[in-house]
Chains A and B, each alone.
Chain A
Amino acid sequence: MKFTKLKRTFKEGMDNFRRNGWLSFATVSVLAISLYVISVTIILGVTANIVLKNIQDKINVSMYFNSDVEESRILEIKSKLVGYQEIASIEYVSKEQALEQFKKLGDKNPSITQALDEIGENPLLGALVVKAKNPNQYEIITKAISNASFSGDISRIDYEENKTAIDRLTNIIKLVEQVGMTLGIVFVFIGVLITFNAIRLTMYAHKQEFEIMRLVGASNTYIKMPFVFEGIFYGAVSAFVVMICLYATSKFLSPITQGSIGGGDIVSFYFGNFFIIFGGLLLSGIFLGTLSGIIAIRRYLKV
């Protein structure tokens, strides 16, 4: 018996949704825009974080030692530094290794090889490459190193050059997240309002029908349920629309994002997380639709 009721009110809700063509279209559009902005924000935030992680992994601080410092001395300093808790890893790059790497660059750029040949000896310095556990700690580490007893042996530290770039990137990502979140919240609010309004309009259009329904003995639940379903339809259809829009967007963005994410570009990210994204969208769409429906019923359906 309960099931028949559910089935019938579901059908009524679907009929409402279909019959009010324009109203449904407008509602779905606005709800879809809200969901779209929110999901773009979230996806942007997630990818930006992945990109940032990738870049952070590439960040390190290199200490170059004066050319007269012995290898044994460098290794001794290295073993001292291992004790720092901020440091994730230290790698020793000897003069010879540095030269190898530099020569590899020469394969692509013959002038490098030429220049090396001209100098005749290895002009490069031995270095310790330090990676921090947390990118914020590079500053502490560089300070500690430049104040250390062995600072006299160090020719230069190349942290400062990277620092501004890192800071700028972090700030941009923070800004994107904040703007996105604010926009998202605003759009959720607007989306709920519009859906709520659409359902209210349907109710207004059906005003006389409620009276009829009551007169033939329809229970309150029976009158209300179709509107909840109507809200659910708005949400679900919007979720589908957004899914398609997101695919188009990621397709459009994929050339720009090529290689910036671990698994390739943003399209593969989209498909890799298809079910999570779709499930999330569907759930939030249905949630927003239902919420709006319930608000509209509470506010306007006096039965």
Chain B
Amino acid sequence: MPILKFENVSKTYPGNFIALEEINLVIESGEFLSIVGHSGSGKSTLLKLIYAEEQASEGHVYFNDRAIDSINRKHLPYYRRNIGTVFQDFKLLPQKTAFENVAYALEVSDETEEEINELVPEILEIVGMNDKAKKYPRQLSGGEQQKICLARALVRKPMVIIADEPTGNLDPVATWEIIQLLLKINSMGTTIILATHNKDIVDKLNRRVIALDKGKVIRDHQKGRYAI
């Protein structure tokens, strides 16, 4: 069953800059999809359309058969809770500890303190960061920060996790730890969409790969390798 569907989607930014053109794409639930392409090829825009940071100029993006652009602005926060996001620059709240950063994702959706105190350590355990729960982001290495981000993305049990260059700032060891975690999360049933520049990762994953160039899908292989 498709969890995400792009139908003739184009995105034009002011100044007539075309970021995406005529994208048609079906992403099945439980898939591990890699998106590759040069900088400026439209990878990030494609992801932004999914987590509703941007809206398509033409066409529609469907999440579980519902057009995302038809969601009332007021309800977008609730929609976003279905999607976990991980970024190259981590985007952790600097004044909160690792625990609090993960807990924040639950606090905003009105979870009770008991649930938070039960769920957060559980998730931190999964990403192997339980012993660093009380550390602030600045006290953690890049790899550790990214694991906290993954924990935060994961804690609300989203249907989709979007990872936009999650390993861009990490050394090879940390990179593989993150990829292993993504695979683990995927094996538990969560759809993963990974945008990356890293050839090694894509080649080793041996999963579906989409290549973007100048806003168009130029390749879509079920067991793909990194090629643009």
Contact = CB atoms under 8 A, between A and B. Distances in A.
A215 B81 CA distance: 8
B108 A219 contact: yes
A217 B91 contact: no
B212 interface: no
Nearest to A15: B95
Interface residues of B, number: 21
Nearest to B111: A4
B95 A217 contact: no
A217 B77 CA distance: 4
B91 A215 contact: yes
Interface in B51-82: 51, 53, 74, 77-78, 80-81
Interface string B74-110: 1001101100010000011101000000001101111
Contacts of A209: 93
B136 to A, nearest CB: 13
Contacts of B85: 215-216
Among A1, A4, A211, A215, the one with the most B-chain Cβ atoms within 10 Å of its Cβ is A215
Given A4-B110, A4-B112, A5-B110, A215 B51 contact: yes
A217 B110 contact: no
A16 to B, nearest CB: 9
A220 B78 CA distance: 11
B92 A217 contact: no
Contacts of A220: 74, 77
A15 B93 CA distance: 13
B152 interface: yes
Interface in A88-146: none
A212 B91 contact: yes
B156 interface: yes
A5 B95 CA distance: 20
A207 interface: no
Nearest to B158: A217
Nearest to B85: A215
A58 interface: no
Contact of A222 (B51, B80, B108, B156): B108
A218 to B, nearest CB: 4
B109 A217 contact: yes
Contacts, number: 48
A217 B81 contact: yes
Contacts of B107: 8
Given A5-B110, A215-B85, A216-B105, A19 B95 contact: yes
B154 to A, nearest CB: 11
B156 to A, nearest CB: 7
B40 to A, nearest CB: 21
Contacts of B92: 212
Given A4-B112, A217-B109, A212 B77 contact: no
A215 B80 contact: yes
A213 interface: yes
Interface in A186-221: 208-209, 211-220
A214 B104 CA distance: 11
B141 to A, nearest CB: 20
Nearest to B156: A217
Among A15, A215, A216, A220, the one with the most B-chain Cβ atoms within 10 Å of its Cβ is A216
Nearest to B90: A212
A3 to B, nearest CB: 10
Nearest to A11: B107
B190 to A, nearest CB: 16
B108 A217 contact: yes
Interface string A214-242: 11111110100000000000000000000
Contacts of A216: 80, 85, 104-105, 108, 152
Contacts of B80: 214-217
A208 B74 CA distance: 21
Interface string B28-58: 0000000000000000000000010100000
The 7 A-B residue pairs with the shortest CB-CB distance in the complex, in nearest-first order = A218-B108, A217-B81, A216-B105, A219-B77, A217-B80, A212-B91, A1-B110
19 contacts: A4-B112, A5-B110, A212-B91, A212-B93, A214-B53, A214-B77, A215-B51, A215-B53, A215-B80, A216-B105, A216-B152, A217-B105, A217-B156, A218-B77, A218-B104, A218-B108, A219-B77, A219-B78, A219-B108
Interface of B: 51, 53, 74, 77-78, 80-81, 85, 91-93, 95, 104-105, 107-110, 112, 152, 156
Given A213-B108, A216-B152, 9 more contacts: A4-B110, A5-B110, A15-B95, A19-B95, A215-B85, A216-B104, A217-B77, A218-B108, A219-B74
